[in-house]
Structure 1
């Protein structure tokens, strides 16, 4: 696959694969096993992967950061699917924030800004 073929559409495709494995055998599919364990376990995995990504971002190699980032994105997509969200739901949120500073966007949502 060339760099031209590698873009954000890979996330949409991964989401389709995740959805297609929702009802597979949990003994043979990691994705089905996550769905079977429920949203709390899925959310826990997202947290674990986020922590590992942060650690690699600070102290790891670029390759390790890329590996952990891929794990984080996979688990985040599983979480979205478990809660009935699709990537398009998230893309719409991001599109709606175009041209708005992060400070203004957070203020509009009533989110306190951190130092």
Structure 2
């Protein structure tokens, strides 16, 4: 099985290709045509479903959570591609936050937005 980062990068590339080509019979194309309202509602829907699945017991709940997490990532990647945000930019932001307390990082963001 390929490394997770390879699979995620390949998925993002496929989504970016769909945006460029806009093939007629493509779910991804349908999402792009719906813009942020359509894509955003799918991200929210899938996020709620992954939370619900995470509360299910046992291996069935675990597997359901994995499937729903994949759906969240796919729809989030569509949203990123719609906004022309590359996966590398998100990775760079995560790398920037490495070693920083989540509470400190959140406080710094709030100070910046208050300025």
What range describes the TM-score normalised by the shorter chain of this pair? 0.7 to 0.9
Structure number with higher helix proportion: 2
Aligned to 1:46: 43
| Alpha-carbon displacement from aligned partner over 1:60-100 (angstroms, at most 9, x marks no partner) | 51110000000000000000000110111100100000110
TM-score (normalizing by structure 1): 0.87
Match of 1:18 among 15, 18, 38: 15
Secondary structure at 2:84's aligned position in 1?
Answer: coil
| Alpha-carbon displacement from aligned partner over 1:3-48 (angstroms, at most 9, x marks no partner) | xx2322211110000011123333x111111111111100110000
TM-score (normalizing by structure 2): 0.87
Secondary structure at 1:109's aligned position in 2?
Answer: helix
Moved >2 Å (runs of 4+): 23-26
Structure 2: gaps spanning 5 or more residues = none
Does residue 89 in structure 1 map to residue 86 in structure 2?
Answer: no
CA-atom RMSD, angstroms?
Answer: 1.3
